[in-house]
A = this chain, B = another copy of it.
């Protein structure tokens, strides 16, 4: 089969709020080959992603992403690896290419799943899709009382694990943060698992160290992104003294190297991979393989990063679906209507409260085009008098 068409669509809520909620817009990729169709989602700025797909070539290592995709052969999984490598090579100097590639790679896996009537995790070589315990992923409340209310509500809805992040955390006093974390602990109950996401708020090791005792006391399971992602020395120094509190990070990784650096040089206990950013399922699976290869000496856990639709959630579960020891998954529970309505079906917890990558062909979920119509953002880009992009019909 040849890749005949690659279409992409920009969707957004009517009003985008200035909060750390990544579910307010979406960029969907649709790939057609040999009568089959696959869908993928980029966790990225939609307009910049569109531009990187179709931008005129700057030089041999700065080509538009589509140049390596349209017309390529796609018959087996090795073709996806080849196309993925080809984009990274031909668009090496196009910084945004990894984000755009992610949606393309995901759509190619979905397409092959349709072609062979197999779930993606089977195409990846796994025998089974193991259930994961979903953690409810929410923002901290503006006050400790708000956070307490959120935590109680999460617990009432049946979640045993929750992660609280961003909002005011880390920006005020240690006592303010302590109040927030203790409220989360109280709301989740003694046996609940509480994780904290600092959202890269600190620039000094000491700022994180000052919170370590409090986090240990609250039995926080992991502290996520205390520092900007590249601060590997600070990550490693904090991990060396964080004891029962694992250090988590990696969501910003836009290639395999960055994820490996977080493990090898940053010493993280959880590596959090967003398939919509890292270069798709192909690259995320390589990180999962790396984690498995390190298991004896460095028991790091693989976990998805997902703050958008259930299509993105399924894509992020596939790379580690077959790894039973890696048993948590991020599960966004405050989705905006766009992200929720993006798919016909949803990945809902089973009787045991668990989530699993679907047992259906491809990603196992398909976009609800009728519902999406109202979120479609008409976009047009023209360069030198030629229209290079115009939103296609949905």
Contacts and interface: CB of A to CB of B under 8 A. Distances in A.
Interface of A: 10, 12, 16-22, 24-25, 44-48, 50-52, 55-62, 92-96, 98-99, 166, 199-200, 228-233, 252, 254-258, 260-261, 264-265, 277, 377-385, 388
Contacts of A380: 380-382
B18 A57 contact: yes
A145 to B, nearest CB: 22
Main secondary structure, interface of A, reads loop
Given A45-B95, A47-B56, A95-B98, 14 more contacts: A22-B58, A25-B56, A44-B95, A45-B52, A46-B58, A52-B96, A92-B228, A93-B252, A95-B99, A233-B264, A265-B265, A378-B384, A378-B385, A380-B382
A98 B58 CA distance: 18
A79 to B, nearest CB: 18
Given A257-B228, A378-B385, A55 B45 contact: yes
Contact of A230 (B25, B60, B255, B383): B255
A231 to B, nearest CB: 7
B94 A61 contact: no
A232 B252 contact: no
B59 A51 contact: no
A385 B380 CA distance: 9
B385 A382 contact: no
Contact of A20 (B20, B59, B228, B232): B59
A208 to B, nearest CB: 17
Contacts of A231: 257
A264 B50 CA distance: 36
A59 B19 contact: yes
B51 A254 contact: no
B57 A16 contact: yes
